[in-house]
A = this chain, B = another copy of it.
Amino acid sequence: MALLAGSANEQCTVALDGTGGDHLDTRPVVDAVRFALAMYPSLYLIVFGSSQLELDLTKAGVNKKRFEFRLAQQSIPQDEPPRSVLTNFRHSAMVQALECVKSGQAQAMLSSGGTGPLVCLARHILGVQHLSAAKAKLKEKLGVPGRGGAVRPCFAARIPVGPQRFALMLDLGANATCTPSDLFDFACLGHACAELSLERPHPRLAVLNVGVELGKGNALVQRTKELLEQDRSLQFTGFIEANRIFNDDADVIVTDGFTGNVALKAAEGVANLYANSSGMKKVFAKMARPDWLLPWQYNGSVLLGVNGIVVKSHAAAGKEALAVAMVEAARAAQSNLASKMQEALAAQ
């Protein structure tokens, strides 16, 4: 189920920001830590959080050999502006967890904190990856030079599209406003990641739009289409409509972070209508659900395009979903996703 399967036998260390999320009490984090450690024997955690979290982990009897606790009282508000994030929160759990990845103490970090702060700090602390010289040159030729080859990082997640089959969708919210240059970058990141993690040698790449006809949509998707058509190394198949996201029409679905976030949450809203019904309807809903559509198994978006593995969990994730995101982080770490992504980008 991981974005990229590695060897589960090597020990791997994940730094956990234990302060984010919608939960005020520490219970979901404690339960998720226990659950993740049980699921994944080679996982070791560095947990950053409040003294209350430390106390509760101890009380719960979590195996002390499997984790290390570090105090970090500071928590970053979800909508803290970037300038403040970069200067006022040096002692926050999020910053410290990222620095663990930077220094190599951890091979991945996981946070349920705000998207804005997480992306801003990850870019700043870990640094961003670069497109190949060929791609940078192509972009310049096409009139969208970008930032000297530096890629625009974005959140990617696997979308279930059938039994044991996934597509990759990106961006899911790292960038609320995007340019055609950004979407081109997401296409390059998605292509590389699908080759690595979905094991598809020539992933079919589509841009999310309101229709499949050539003239449909806004200026962003129209211009992106023009760019992608010029890149022969990508298998660009055109537009895809949101009702076909789960139908295995594409391996990589490219969109801006605003639209991608709305699309996935709308899908989640309907799945919840079924899952949260009551009485016999709830029983029937469980029996009716396609076997491969288990929402909590798919928590954890990976921030592609930075020099390190950063996984974001849904802020409202329950203990199982949070544990799944930890395992997702561990597996990405064991497969060296970040460095393999940089190699793949460089070879494009």
Residues of A that sit less than 8 Å from B by CB: 78-79, 81, 114-116, 173, 176-177, 208, 210-211, 213-219, 241-247, 257-259, 261-274, 277, 280-282, 284-285, 287-290, 293
Contact = CB atoms under 8 A, between A and B. Distances in A.
A215 B79 contact: yes
Nearest to A77: B213
29 contacts: A79-B214, A116-B215, A116-B216, A176-B218, A177-B218, A210-B258, A242-B261, A242-B263, A242-B264, A242-B266, A242-B268, A242-B269, A243-B265, A243-B266, A243-B269, A246-B270, A247-B269, A259-B259, A262-B266, A263-B266, A264-B266, A266-B266, A270-B270, A273-B293, A277-B288, A281-B287, A284-B288, A285-B288, A288-B288
B176 A208 contact: no
A280 B211 CA distance: 33
B243 A78 contact: no
Given A262-B266, A284-B285, 15 more contacts: A78-B211, A78-B216, A115-B210, A177-B218, A177-B219, A210-B262, A242-B262, A246-B273, A247-B269, A259-B259, A262-B263, A263-B266, A266-B266, A273-B290, A281-B289
Given A287-B280, A289-B274, A293-B273, A210 B257 contact: yes
State the copy count for this chain: 2
The 10 A-B residue pairs with the shortest CB-CB distance in the complex, in nearest-first order: A79-B215, A242-B265, A284-B288, A285-B288, A242-B266, A79-B213, A243-B269, A243-B265, A284-B287, A263-B266
A288 B281 contact: yes
Contacts of A116: 215-216
A289 B211 CA distance: 28
A338 B216 CA distance: 28
Task: Identify the interface centre among A241, A265, A266, A284: most chain B CB within 10 Å of its CB.
Answer: A266
Contacts of A259: 258-259, 262
A177 B245 CA distance: 22
Consensus secondary structure, chain A interface: helix
A77 B100 CA distance: 57
A271 B274 CA distance: 9
A217 B270 contact: no
A166 to B, nearest CB: 14
Nearest to A160: B273
Nearest to A175: B218
A262 B208 CA distance: 8
A284 to B, nearest CB: 4
A297 to B, nearest CB: 15
A176 B216 contact: yes
Contacts of A280: 287
Contacts of A288: 274, 277, 281-282, 284-285, 287-288
Contacts of A241: 265
B274 A245 contact: no
A202 B285 CA distance: 35
Contacts of A277: 288, 290
Contacts of A264: 242, 266
A210 B284 contact: no
B269 A271 contact: no
Contact of A267 (B257, B269, B284): B269
A215 B243 CA distance: 29
